[in-house]
């Protein structure tokens, strides 16, 4: 085998490792709980993850450009509140209410991105402010009251006959596929990687980094709004307290999926695998009777372990590359 052929091999080691972790978790919880390995459990899991999936996709893009968005949980709550109030109080039909919700999320994300990029303020600070603004907006819009919508939105989150999965899940999978394609096959994807790897070099090469960073945050806001629509369809209620701590779950899924916290490297597919790992872990721990504090501690340990692994990923990858090239040279 020639050296050039060996150099061209690109095995998805990260994805394979995540799949292996996912399989081990399923086997472990199936062995510990007689109720885990069942169609009911897997259908429930499938119909619970759309919200976290689309929000984690947006977070992947944000981390790719070396940013962070702490507002996505609150933005999701605000967008769901807008949709719920428009339908329950103003009598709006479903589709216009969804459009208003998406526009709200787009506006929140755009505001965070423009302020952070235009004035070079750390996105941590800006989105922390947006977290409070959006949460306060959710309380104001709903007058701090939950809105029950019932069947008018239930078809979004209810399983389809014959499939057992909801339209929300199918839409979330489509978002993952499109986002991965954009990341690896488009100019926009290359721009995100370039900005995250070295923003100053990207700017000097002619990229309008302010515009592209603002666009990434706008997409994150839009996807947070879509997550709100999915949650509204699943729970059939608009709760101003919804989404508290969801930004941490999204960051956890992205980090477990291998996206670098320092930017420039990531995968949407791996983020989705991270979402599945978190969902399986939380469901399995609940079936084992682990308390909420215990679940949070275990989830935190997993996040720290993923970050530690990320620190050693590149040295291990370089060592493997040198071994592969040397093997090709010997042959």
pLDDT in tens, 132-162: 999 999 999 999 999 999 888 999 999 888 8
Q: Which domain holds residue 220?
A: 2-325
Residue 307 has pLDDT above 80, yes or no: no
Q: How is the chain split among helix, strand and coil, in percent rounded to 5?
A: 75, 0, 25
Most confident of 15-19, 94-98, 287-291, 295-299: 94-98
Nearest alpha carbon to residue 223 among 271, 289, 285: 271
Is 330 within the bounds of a domain? Answer: no
Average pLDDT over residues 210-237: 97
Element (H, E) at 227: helix 209-235
Residue 8 has a pLDDT of 35
Distance (Å) of CA 276 to CA 55, 171, 181, 252: 14, 16, 20, 11
Average pLDDT over residues 68-79: 97
Task: Give me 4's structure tokens.
Answer: 């050039």
Most confident of 4-8, 71-75, 264-268: 71-75
Alpha carbons 51 and 224: distance in angstroms, whole number: 8
DSSP secondary structure code for residue 267 in this structure: -
Residues 225/133, Cβ–Cβ less than 8 Å: no
Is 100 within the bounds of a domain? Answer: yes
Residues 239/145, Cβ–Cβ less than 8 Å: no
| SS3 label, residue 125 | helix
Distance (Å) of CA 119 to CA 69, 147, 217: 16, 38, 15
Is 229 within the bounds of a domain? Answer: yes
CATH code of residue 231:
1.10.3470
Residue 293 has a pLDDT of 87
Sequence-ordered list of residues with C-beta below 8 angstroms from that of 216, at least 6 positions apart, any chain: 61, 62, 64, 65, 67, 113, 192
* Mean of pLDDT over the chain: 89
Residue 276 has pLDDT above 70, yes or no: yes
| pLDDT bracket for residue 130 (50, 70, 90) | very high
Between helix 209-235 and helix 50-64 the angle, nearest 10°, is 170
Instruction: Please state the domain count of the chain.
Output: 1
3-state secondary structure 41-81: HHHHHHHHCHHHHHHHHHHHHHHHCCCCCCCHHHHHHHHHH
Is 9 within the bounds of a domain? Answer: yes
Residue 329 has a pLDDT of 52
Between helix 209-235 and helix 94-118 the angle, nearest 10°, is 150
262 or 71, greater pLDDT: 71
Alpha carbons 300 and 306: distance in angstroms, whole number: 10
Sign of CA dihedral 212, 216, 217, 223: positive
192 or 327, greater pLDDT: 192
pTM of the entire structure?
Answer: 0.90
């Amino acid at each position: 085998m020639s050296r050039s052929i060996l150099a061209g091999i690109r095995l998805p080691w990260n994805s394979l490792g995540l799949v292996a972790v996912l399989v081990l978790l399923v086997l472990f919880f199936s062995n510990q709980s007689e109720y885990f390995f069942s169609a009911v459990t897997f259908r429930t899991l499938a119909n619970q993850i759309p919200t976290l999936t689309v929000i984690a996709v947006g977070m992947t893009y944000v981390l790719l450009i070396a940013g962070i968005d702490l507002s996505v949980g609150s933005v999701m709550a605000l967008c769901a509140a807008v949709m719920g109030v428009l339908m329950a109080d103003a009598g709006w039909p479903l589709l216009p209410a969804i459009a208003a919700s998406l526009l709200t999320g787009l506006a929140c994300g755009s505001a965070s991105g423009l302020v952070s990029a235009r004035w070079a303020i750390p996105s941590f600070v800006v989105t922390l402010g947006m977290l409070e603004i959006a949460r306060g907006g959710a309380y104001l819009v709903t007058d701090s009251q939950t809105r029950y919508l019932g069947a008018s939105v239930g078809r979004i989150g209810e399983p389809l006959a014959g499939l057992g999965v909801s339209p929300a899940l199918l839409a979330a999978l489509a978002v993952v596929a499109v986002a991965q394609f954009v990341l690896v096959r488009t100019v926009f994807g290359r721009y995100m990687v370039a900005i995250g790897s070295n923003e100053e070099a990207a700017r000097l090469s002619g990229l309008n980094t302010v515009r592209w960073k603002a666009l990434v945050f706008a997409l994150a806001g839009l996807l947070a709004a879509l997550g709100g629509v999915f949650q509204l369809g699943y729970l059939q209620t608009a709760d101003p307290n919804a989404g508290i701590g969801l930004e941490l779950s999204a960051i956890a899924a992205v980090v477990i999926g291998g996206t670098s916290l320092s930017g420039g490297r990531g995968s949407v597919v791996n983020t989705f695998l991270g979402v599945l790992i978190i969902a399986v872990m939380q469901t399995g721990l609940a079936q084992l009777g682990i308390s909420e504090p215990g679940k949070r501690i275990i989830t935190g340990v997993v996040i720290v372990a993923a970050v530690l692994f990320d620190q050693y990923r590149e040295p291990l990858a370089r060592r493997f590359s040198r071994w592969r090239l040397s093997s090709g040279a010997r042959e």
